[in-house]
Amino acid sequence: MNINKKTLLTSIMVFMMTSCTNTQQHSMLNMSMKYTSMLDRASHAFVFLSIISVVTRSCPDSKVICEQEAIRMSATGIVVKKHNNRIKMITANHFCEDHVGILEKVVIENEKKVTYTLTTILNVLDHSGKILTDSLVVATDKSSDLCLIDATSQNINDIEALQLADSEPERYTTVYNIAAPLALYSPGSPLAFSGIYVGMNIRKTRTIVTIPVNPGSSGSMLIDQEGRLFSVILELAHRNFSHVALGAPLENIKKILVGH
């Protein structure tokens, strides 16, 4: 059987191009599945933190008590250690510094004494929305703006403790963030973002990433492509531009964990 050389060459080229395309698609699919699995695992280390203020108004000669509850401040946390049913999580120290306790004030209204009670509570939820109890701040570092919180979980087997990275990522590589900006948090599905690791600032006190952040993002994780923690989001680089964030360097994370 005679085969035209031109036809044969064309067939070989088409086969090679198809094979190459299939290989590339398979490689891209494997890479996508790798990052999906990595982010799902990292999301189990997500913690939603909020300071809840409850205002109670009571009148001595009345049985009527009015309460009003509101979230005063929120942040994100990261589980970095777990043992038995206890976990340790990192977040931003400026969140931990907010006052937690009870304040009372008595005022005169219509010639009657009325007591206003402000109760401020630290509320901690894991990635699935389950409450973490007995929350206690065990370490703070104002210079790095990091805080370490200890808590009890009844859902410990479903919680992941993030591994620390060995070093900062290579500059201009893709990195990931899981957070609750503006208190946007759906149990079981915390928000995930990707961006670029730019490097460190001149004084080597902050990491720089191109990831969108808002109030509530403070204390959230920055992880590399292996899902390892290398930084903690702390603030915006500029208040008028929400797509560049500054974080605590890896060495500061290691420092606050010493002894814990």
> Domain residues of the chain, as ranges?
45-257
User: Mean pLDDT in the chain?
Assistant: 85
Q: Is 22 left (phi over 0), alpha (psi -120 to 50) or beta?
A: alpha
Q: Please tell me whether the overall predicted TM-score, pTM, comes out greater than 0.75 for this model.
A: yes
**14 burial type by CB count under 10 A (0-12 exposed, 13-18 middle, 19+ buried):** exposed
pLDDT class of 29 with cuts at 50, 70, 90: very low
Q: The domain 45-257 is classified under which CATH number: 3.10.300.10, 2.40.10.120, 1.10.357.10, 1.10.1240.10?
A: 2.40.10.120
Average pLDDT over residues 5-10: 55
- pLDDT > 90 in the chain, percent: 59
**Each residue's pLDDT tens digit, 130-156:** 999 999 899 999 999 999 999 999 999
Which of 56-60, 75-79, 123-127, 195-199 is least confident?
56-60
Which of 106-120, 203-217, 230-244 is least confident?
106-120
Strand order in the sheet with 86-92: 101-109, 112-126, 46-58, 65-83, 86-92, 146-152, 133-141
